[in-house]
Amino acid sequence: MIKRIHISILFLLLIVHVSNSQEFNKEYDVVIYGATSSGISAAIQCSRLSKTVLLIEPTNRIGGLTTGGLGATDIGNKNAIGGISREFYQNIKNYYSDPLHWKWQDKITYTESRNNKDGEDAMWTFEPSVALQVYKEMMANESIDLVYR
């Protein structure tokens, strides 16, 4: 019972805060709470379906674990990854295709140590700061308003 009251109060305060903000005093087709990888993917997909989206991130950084330090993806069957998730990993590969982005290790040594196959269309390990940049670029042309904290 107490949890329900706390959640209700938190939700009410959130509504009051957002509705009092002049910048966000508008209606949205979809409101997503949490700009983790799944929240960002949902927001992008909704935007691509011609919906307006408000994405609310309670912290000061989007991307959840992906941008917070988990830079290696554990995947059994890489062919099972599709849609916006695969697009993210393809954008990671595009970022690292620029030789100037290899500051800490050379690309050949890195690729050999990770057993990456030639011809893959995606890259599965990355720096968290790169993931953050890729997410921001993916959201840039979408109809998504992002609110932090």
Q: Could you report the per-residue pLDDT of 26-58, keeping only the tens digit for each?
A: 899 999 999 999 999 999 999 999 999 999 999
Instruction: Please tell me the distance from the alpha carbon of residue 16 to that of residue 8, in angstroms, as a whole number.
Output: 12
Decide: 98 and 130 in contact? Cβ < 8 Å.
no
**Residue 53 three-state SS:** strand
Res. 125 pLDDT band, cuts 50 70 90: confident
Distance CA 32, CA 55 (A): 5
Q: If you classify domain 2-148 with CATH, what class do you get?
A: alpha beta
Residue 17 reports pLDDT greater than 60 = no
Q: Which of the four pLDDT bands, split at 50, 70 and 90, describes residue 116?
A: low
Which residues lie across from 78 on neighbouring strands?
none
Distance between CA 11 and CA 138 in Å, rounded?
A: 28
* Positive or negative: CA dihedral 60, 63, 64, 67: negative
Q: What is the largest CA-CA distance in the chain?
A: 57
**What's the predicted TM-score (pTM) here?**
0.78
Those residues whose C-beta lies under 8 Å from the C-beta of residue 81, and which sit 6 or more positions away, are: 75, 89, 122
Helix axes 83-96 and 128-140, enclosed angle (nearest 10): 120
